[in-house]
Every structure is written in C-alpha cells, then in structure tokens.
A and B are shown apart, each in its own frame.
Chain A
Amino acid sequence: DIQMTQSPSFLSASVGERVTLSCRASQNINKYLDWYQQKLGEAPKLLIYNTNNLHTGIPSRFSGSGSGTDYTLTISSLQPEDVATYFCLQRNSWPYTFGAGTKLELK
C-alpha cells in the first residue's frame, strides 16, 4: 500500500498569513492527489483534485502543486473560516490511502 505522510501534524497561523501544508507519498502517485478540508463534526469537503485543480466553488486562495511523491496545499491568505483539518488522498493505486491530516488553527 502507498503510505501518505502529511506534515506538519499541527499548524498555528495568523489571519492573512500564507500557509503551506505538505503531503509525501511512499512512491510516485502521478499527480493523482486530492486535498480535503474537514471541519469539526462535518464530512470532508473536496478542495483540490489531481494536484492542482480547484474544485467548483472553492476560493482562489487555495492552490495545489507537486509531482512524483511530493505535494503541497497552499492557502495564500489564511481566513478564520479555514480553521479545519486537511487531508490528502492518493488515487493512483489500490487501495486509495489518506494522509493522517494537518490540523490548522488560528494563532
């Protein structure tokens, strides 16, 4: 199985700050990497699919990049409503696997 390692596990940042979250795969996943946002008590919400495609309705402050084994989610200017846990998901091969998540809080 492909292992997905997210870093950091926890991040505290200020409103307006640029935030970068990372996800590393144990092998090449050919850009089949999605990012989800999960707020407390809610289902995950798709933000980015296939590395860098912004899902419909997602604010443009969210962006994704990467290739091979290393991928990044960037929030260009953190907003209070971005407080959540962020998960990456690889869909390159079975079984699909998630990262353990990055919990993002306001400083």
Chain B
Amino acid sequence: QVQLKESGPGLVQPSQTLSLTCTVSGFSLTSNSVHWVRQPPGKGLEWVGAIWSGGSTDYNSALKSRLSISRDTSKSQVFLKMNSLQTEDTAIYFCTSFITWGQGVMVTVSS
C-alpha cells in the first residue's frame, strides 16, 4: 500500500528556513515522482515543486529562488527546504504522487 507522510515544524519564524520531510512507503522514489503542494488556510491548492524518478527537479517559478527539493532514496525520503519565509507561506504542505496524498502538515509562519 502506497503511503506518504509529511513531517516538520509547525511554527517557523519570519525570514527563517522551512524544512519538511516526506517519508514514503509502498513505492520506489527511483520509479516515481513526488510533488509538494500547499494550501493556505481556507484557500485553494498551489503546486510547489517536484522531484522526478531520475532525481531532477522542477519548481514553481514564483518560489524557485527560495526553494530546494532533494531526496534520500535509501531512506525513502523527500525533502523540501524553503528559505526567507513570510506570513503568506503559512499553509498546509502536502507531499503527493498525485495518486496518493500525505495527510499534510500545517506550517505557520509567525513570530
């Protein structure tokens, strides 16, 4: 059974760096892509970025300068790092294969 689970801090201070981990099970990162999607409270979904089966990445152009996605295939983990966080980055962050979604992790940017 394919599962994805996000983990990371719930609260980040403005201007600091967000680090999230997506731990997957039931499928191989070398055969499947993993995407990050975020959803501000009460709002719609925004595609953040992706890491492909070969290890290449693609990012939302609006976030590209602040964003890095990487992985550790031996641990079946995908990592998201976003720097210079602002209050508008407050959102639920999901990792997903687009077929299966993690439960999401709520990230609040506040001092």
Knowing A95-B60, A95-B61 are in contact, say whether A43-B103 is a contact too (CB < 8 A).
yes
A87 within 8 A of B: yes
Binding stretch for chain B, among A61-69, A74-82, A98-106: A98-106
Pair A87/B99 contact, Cβ less than 8 Å = no
Pair B44/A44 contact, Cβ less than 8 Å = no
Contact of A100 among B35, B44, B47, B96 (CB under 8 A): B44
Pair B60/A46 contact, Cβ less than 8 Å = no
User: Main SS of the interface on chain A?
Assistant: loop
Pair A98/B45 contact, Cβ less than 8 Å = yes
* Complex interface: chain B residues within 8 A of A98 (CB): 44-47
List A residues at the B interface (Cβ < 8 Å).
1, 34, 36, 43-46, 49, 55, 87, 89, 91, 94-101
Given contacts A45-B101, A87-B44, A89-B45, 18 further A-B contacts (CB under 8 A): A1-B61, A36-B45, A43-B94, A43-B96, A43-B101, A44-B94, A44-B101, A46-B98, A46-B99, A49-B99, A55-B99, A87-B45, A89-B47, A91-B98, A94-B58, A97-B47, A98-B45, A98-B47
